[in-house]
Structure 1
Amino acid sequence: MEWRDEGIILGARKHGETSVVLETMTAAHGRHLGLVKGGRSRRMQPLLQPGNRVDLVWRARLEEHLGTFQVEPLELNAARLLASALAIHGIQLLAAHLRLMPERDAHAGLYETLKVITAHLDEPEIAGPLMVRFELALLDELGFGLDLTQCALTGSRESLAYVSPKSGRAVTEEAGAPWRNRLLPLPRFLTVKARMETPPDALEDAYRLTGFFFHRNVYEPRGMEEPAARGGFLAALARSAEDAAG
């Protein structure tokens, strides 16, 4: 068995004295692991860092085997990411999110989004909105997607202001007014495709929204806690906003 694909490194763990088991998110083969012989060498270690985009050749005798990776660099992002606390937490959070998906299931859309986010993880004004959109995309891939396109009560696509915690569907400001204390705020930047300024309070509402559905539909049913990297990422994002304001 053999295939070639590009991927972004999510992490690596030691294997024996000289090798590592490399975890990647690939374009066509999903989240995939493989053994890199000699991966702990001084030459290979800088290449096998989280966030790097690499060319991969995977080989195994049988499809269900771990197999081995041959790895070549395409885009070395790790050094840049390691210089930013936000980016460090961000790449850890992306890896934790992707581990919610079954191994080797292809998700081309998630891979392309991951590639875009990785390029901007050290830019708070871009990374914040991109990460929450990634969380929305991941919820959709997991089968718990939110419908933020039209009002669940009126069918209107204008003035969407809330999300029903029961149905995960948007509600307009007028229709939701009688129940606004029971609804989740829907930041406007999540309902438009064009890039727009994202105030810190809107980002907080957005992460509260995705966090609610992750807890209810993913973490609690699986007996999991929210990944620590999410709290670290949000704290770093808040510090960046404070620094920018000050």
Structure 2
Amino acid sequence: MAGLTADAIVCAVRAHGEHGAILRALTERAGLVAGYVRGGRSRRLRPILMPGNLVALDLRARTEDQLGGATVEMIASRAPLLAEPLAAAAIDWATSLTAAALPESQPYPSLYAALSALLEAIAVAPAARLWAAALARYELLLLAELGFGLNLEECVATGSANDLAFVSPRSGGAVSIGAAAGYEDRLFRLPSFLRGPGSSPSTEDVLDALTITGHFLDRDILDGRNRDLLTVRERLVARLGRAVA
């Protein structure tokens, strides 16, 4: 019997049968995993099976290809954050994106660490724009981990690493000020914080970053097909724009 015991971030839950639920959760070493939780819709388990929660997961299956049975115990609850609409929307989007984008049973330890850090930032950051910057970095990392990384280190036109100020919506490469001359309105503005640690990002920086990552997530990962999920993100970004303005 195949088995897994690990800490896991709850990413998605859907009803299965009259009382059960199918859980999808991200683990550090096994990646995204799925399991059937008996009684998952019960009053006791519903608060545990909330996206964003960190749980102790025990997953058992007779074969590698069979959906296993899962049991969970709470480690850290994100329930207090769900009372705040903006934080709740961010958790909903980040966990839903993770569940929709990642293939199952492939390890992405850097994404597990980044999602953990993002959820912690949502809980403790004194301003929404600060955790929103972490969200943009998480989306950028997810693109890279799935093979759609953006080249923000050198100009796609000249190869220079100097004066990078824009991003091409076609190539995903950075563009220098000189190479962008006359084409600025066709390019995304590149916030410096996406290239590495530095000063605290401004409101404009955060929204520009989310415009960049949103474009490439839609084009390369979600392929415009998951309209419901994209709508979740659009609403989140609109709320962020109002909250940090």
1:216 is aligned to 219
2:91 is aligned to 91
The 2-side partners of 1:167 and 1:180 are apart by 15
The 2-side partners of 1:203 and 1:126 are apart by 8
SS at match of 2:152: coil
1:148 is aligned to 152
How many pairs does the alignment contain?
239
Maintained 8 Å contact 2:52/2:95: no
Maintained 8 Å contact 1:19/1:35: yes
1:186 is aligned to 190
**Between the two proteins, what is the percent identity of the paired residues?**
36
- Shift in alpha-carbon separation, 1:209–1:187, aligned structure 2, 3 A: same
2:6 is aligned to 5
Q: TM-score, normalised by structure 1?
A: 0.89
2:81 is aligned to 81
The 1-side partners of 2:218 and 2:42 are apart by 40
C-alpha RMSD over aligned residues: 1.9
**1:206 partner letter:** A
1:131-159 deviations in Å (ceiling 9; x for gaps) = 11111111112211101012223333232
- Per mean C-alpha deviation after superposition, the further-off stretch among 106-115 and 233-242 is 233-242
Q: CA deviation at 1:212?
A: 2.0
The 2-side partners of 1:11 and 1:224 are apart by 15
**2:4 partner letter:** W
Q: CA deviation at 1:67?
A: 0.6
Q: CA deviation at 1:59?
A: 0.3
2:176 is aligned to 172
1:25-53 deviations in Å (ceiling 9; x for gaps) = 11112221111122223222221211110
Q: CA deviation at 1:91?
A: 1.6
| In the alignment, structure 1 residue 36 sits paired with structure 2 residue 40 | no
Maintained 8 Å contact 2:9/2:25: yes
In structure 2, list runs of 5 or more residues that go unmatched. Answer: none
SS at match of 2:101: coil
Runs of 4+ residues over 4 Å off in structure 1: none
SS at match of 2:120: helix
**1:100 partner letter:** A
1:58 is aligned to 59
1:90-148 deviations in Å (ceiling 9; x for gaps) = 12211232112212222111111110111122541322101111111111122111010
In the alignment, which of 126, 131, 137 is matched to residue 133 of structure 1? 137
SS at match of 2:154: coil
The 1-side partners of 2:222 and 2:18 are apart by 35
**1:200 partner letter:** T
**1:229 partner letter:** V
- Per mean C-alpha deviation after superposition, the further-off stretch among 226-235 and 65-74 is 226-235
1:110 is aligned to 111
| In the alignment, structure 1 residue 203 sits paired with structure 2 residue 210 | no
Maintained 8 Å contact 1:19/1:36: yes
- Per mean C-alpha deviation after superposition, the further-off stretch among 162-171 and 139-148 is 162-171
Q: CA deviation at 1:233?
A: 1.4
SS at match of 2:70: strand
Q: TM-score, normalised by structure 2?
A: 0.89
Maintained 8 Å contact 1:86/1:121: no
